[in-house]
Amino acid sequence: MNRRGIDDKNILDRFCIDFCGVIEKHCEYIVVSGFVVIASGRTRGTEDIDIIIERIGKDRFVKLHNALTKKGFVCIQSDDPEEIYGYVKDKLSVRYTYEDKPLPEIELKMSKDELDEYQLKTKTKLPLTGLDIWFSSVNMNIAFKEELLKTDKDIEDAKYLRTVYDEEIDEKEINKIKAMIRRYRL
């Protein structure tokens, strides 16, 4: 059973499970941002799922990309895995979707700094979601939404996470992450 009390997964759940099932055979990853909140039960729209992977070399990335294409995923920016690697290596994101459907999309980024490395190091599975995938921590998501993103939607997301995961909130950790955000992103 998942968080909704039924066995069926929605389109975003299935898409994320399928994509992460391929990635985890090739490298470490985390799902971050809006989908963390949605998977935790907040009702709001999104058309993409943000994923950060560990820094890997070109050969490993080419193998990852080829495995994704064998499972029916395509990269919107290019069919050439070496060109795609150039984007992610240069700290840009790329988008993957199912071959025959324009939505939903995965926005894939490679770890770009110590903050991303810390996110990967502190990754977690969130049983509330009913999904067997790796997420960035709740504290990490709250810190990003409150300190960096700051849109009305992000502030509401952070409030929701604080409510739903009340027992897991660690203000010292959130403040540590906010300091890292100021150091590396602001």
pLDDT tens digit string along 83-125? 999 999 999 999 999 988 888 999 999 999 999 999 999 999 9
pLDDT at 108: 98
Residue with tokens 């739903």: 164
- Mean model confidence pLDDT for the chain: 94
Q: pLDDT class for 4, splitting at 50, 70, 90?
A: very low
Taking 80 as the threshold, does the pLDDT of residue 157 lie above it?
Answer: yes
83's CB contacts (< 8 A; 6+ apart) are 77
Q: What are phi and psi of 165, to 5 degrees?
A: -110, 30
Residue 57: its pLDDT value, please?
97
Question: How far apart (Å, rounded) are the C-alpha atoms in residues 59 and 114?
Answer: 23
In this prediction, residue 8 has a pLDDT band, given cuts at 50, 70 and 90, of: low
Mind listing the pLDDT tens digit for each residue in 19-63?
A: 999 999 999 999 999 999 999 999 887 879 999 999 999 999 999
Pick the closest to residue 11 from 66, 48, 41 (CA basis). Answer: 48
Write 6-15 long-range contacts (CB < 8 A, 24+).
Answer: 9/131, 11/104, 12/38, 12/39, 12/46, 12/49, 12/104, 13/39, 13/130, 13/131, 15/49, 15/98, 15/104, 15/106
Encode pLDDT of 76-94 as tens digits: 999 999 999 999 999 999 9
Q: Are 58 and 90 in contact (CB under 8 A)?
A: no
d(CA 23, CA 30): 10
What's the average model confidence in pLDDT over 130-151? Answer: 97
Instruction: Please say whether the structural domain 11-184 has been given the CATH code 3.30.460.40.
Output: yes
Output the pLDDT for position 100: 85
Tokens of 106: 């995965």
Q: In the chain, which ranges are E strands?
A: 29-32, 48-53, 73-75, 94-98, 105-110
The domain locations on the chain are 11-184
